[in-house]
Amino acid sequence: MAEKVLMKGNEALAEAALRAGCRYFFGYPITPQTELAAYMAKRMPKVGGIYLQAESEVAAINMVYGASAAGARVMTSSSSPGVSLKGEGISYMIGADLPAVIINVQRGGPGLGGIQPSQADYWMATRAPGHGDGHVVVFAPSTVQEMSDLVASAFDLGDKYRVPVMILADGMLGQMMEPVALPEPTDVQSLPEKAWATNGHGGKRPHNIVNSLYLVAQQLEDTVVERSLRYSRIKEEEQIAEAYLTEDAEIVLVAYGAAARISRSAVAKAREMGIKAGLIRPITLWPFPVNTIDTIVPVAKAFLTVELSMGQMVEDVRLAVNGRRPVSFFGHTGGIIPTPDEVLTAIQRVASGEQLDLVPYQSKLTGGAR
Amino acid sequence: MVDHVKMPLNIMLAGFGGQGILFAGKLIAYAGMIDGHEISWLPSYGPEMRGGTANCSVSISDEAIGSPLVTEPDVFIAMNLPSYERFIDTVRPGGVVIVDETMVGACTLRSDVDYHPIPATEIAENSGLKGLANVLLVGKMLAVTGFSTEATLSVAIEKSVSAKRLDLVELNRKAIALGADIPDSDACRA
């Protein structure tokens, strides 16, 4: 294995992208992801690529559209409000079947919100990254190592299915340093050819057209249906989740990213107290790992979703559990990082038969301090 | 020097922006990594930093680290008074508190912590190590906790100092050694 180095999550995302063959980066600065763009600005010219700080997020995502249409491995990154701005371009890329990697290092919202870590963009990422009938694949790393590991997978998956892929991180993962073993560089020449790319042909083949406009309704439906069938394949084949101590778990936590790190500590503490707790950590948020939830339902007595939001992924957990078990929720907003002890208290209450939800329980849980 | 370092070791460092709080944390984190432990390093990056104070959470553990945010430090290094006042009550009872006496003052001590004031900024300036009070304090932490070794920190310094400033490597090493040798100030002993 490669020697481990100490890197920020934002830097690991950038270096892993370069090693995955990304040679085009277009972005616009925003806290807490700016180190990613800064790293790209420094390194990209040295590997013969293009780094460009666009005049806005809207411009950046349209540059990504262009580079992807020409067949390049291309990335953009931003944080929550900036990703909202990219929404139109993301929808166009979905409609034009263009792969790219889009990073969202989430901060608190809505609006300008705050700059501290948050997971409040789950709905935007998994439900409506832009208008129209479409999805992006969403990966959710929870360590700096995973920030690095998931980048190449994101590029490969995007190319395989011709879909944009989002890596949904947060300010904590972006800013923190951990040891990371970086991947070996991809041989760019060995990547599969993109026969659809508009990269010039000297009259040797018919024109390729990259477009998302279909004025004939039947043509539009044909493309949307074909894409939706691809989504079905993605849902069948690409779910990823990690299960921790779930074999005999009665109280099953579901958490991703930074919230999963805290939940894991809380589960370990609960086990020490004799509570059979476990954790499912979705690594793909879309497709949501319903299969993993399904296998764990028969053993579980109750589920507890933990998020740095007011409860978004909990809806997917409830859909997957489908009424078979109670699903509780515990969360805080951007910048308020729950302690493992707070999550442990929530586990104890769920274990004692309570069903927790946002409004009635949060004031109780914190002793009504606010 | 303690015989056995308790794991996980959760460390909070805090001071003004520019005192090298984040760098000191990085040295400790790198040393932990070289010694084969799991580590995490999390800086403050919010409005506090913009208002002039910086803090940094470092965890060293033999197991996967959950939250990288240190809320109950085993070791607290303070480089200015506002930071000292903000975090002193969060230190675990029996925890180690190391303060830069030049910046914090020597006397505001909690009775249930292991308290080590040293005039780090003053000594650094008088020893040709201006700007390295942060590293002196890491040296002091090494002496007090035995969390790593001087040899490991020497490698950590090589990895953390910019390749363009190799002249700083020797100065940093000197600062570790010097910090480890500075006795606790007795300015406040009753």
Helix or strand holding residue A295 (H, E): helix A290-296
Out of A160-169, A322-331, B179-188, least confident range:
B179-188
Question: Among residues A250, A74, A82, A228, which one has the least CA distance to residue A164?
Answer: A74
Tens digit of pLDDT at every position of chain B (190 positions): 344 578 899 999 999 988 999 999 999 999 999 999 999 999 998 766 666 789 999 999 999 999 999 999 999 999 999 999 999 999 999 999 999 999 988 676 688 999 999 999 999 999 999 999 999 999 999 999 999 999 999 999 999 988 888 889 999 999 999 999 999 988 765 4
ipTM of the complex: 0.92
Residue position matching structure tokens 């308290």: B115
Is residue B160 assigned to a domain? yes
Domains A5-199+225-237 and A241-365 share a fold: yes
Assess if residue B188 is contained within a domain.
no
Chain A neighbors of B42, CB-CB under 8 A: 172, 175-177
- Round the CA-based radius of gyration of chain B to a whole number and report it: 15
Assess whether pLDDT exceeds 80 at residue A61: yes
For B137, half-sphere exposure in the C-beta direction (CA atoms, 13 angstrom radius) is 38
pLDDT at A316: 98
Domain with B27, as residue range(s), is 9-103+112-180
- Show Cβ contacts of residue A278 under 8 Å, excluding neighbours closer than 6 positions: A243, A244, A245, A246, A247, A248, A249, A251, A252, A253, A267, A296
Contact in structure between A224 and A212 (CB atoms under 8 Å):
no
From residue B162, alpha-carbon distances to A35, B156, B158, B159, B166 in Å are: 17, 12, 8, 8, 7
Residues of chain A above pLDDT 90, percent: 90
Under an 8 Å CB criterion, which residues of B touch A?
26, 29-30, 33, 38-43, 45-47, 64-69, 71, 159
Counted domains in chain B: 1
Which residue in the set B41, B46, B47 is minimally distant from A176, CB to CB? B41
- Please state which architecture CATH assigns to domain A241-365: 3-Layer(aba) Sandwich (3.40)
Q: What is the CATH number of the domain that holds B17?
A: 3.40.920.10
Residues A21 and A40: beta-carbon distance below 8 Å: no
Q: What is the pLDDT of residue B163?
A: 80
Whether A178 has its CB under 8 Å from any CB of chain B: the answer is yes
The DSSP secondary structure of A262-289, one letter per residue, reads HHHHHHHHHHHTT--EEEEEESEEES--
Domain-embedded: residue B190: no
Q: What percent of chain A has pLDDT over 70?
A: 96
- β-pairing, B38-43 vs B75-78, is unpaired
As a CATH number, domain A5-199+225-237 is 3.40.50.970
For the segment A23-48, the average pLDDT, to the nearest whole number, is: 97
Q: Kindly report, residue by residue over A246-277, the tens digit of the pLDDT.
A: 999 999 999 999 999 999 999 999 999 999 99
Interface test with B, best of A176, A262, A281, A308 (most B CBs within 10 A): A176
Average pLDDT of the residues in A69-90: 98
Output the six-digit token pair for A6: 């100490």
pLDDT at position B105 is: 81
Q: Which residues pair with A25 in a beta bridge?
A: A51, A75
Contacts of B153 (CB under 8 A, 6+ apart): B27, B31, B138, B139, B142, B173, B176
Do the beta carbons of residue A180 and residue A144 sit within 8 Å?
yes
Nearest to B100, CA basis, from B156, B138, B73, B43: B138
Q: Where are the domains of chain A?
A: 5-199+225-237, 241-365
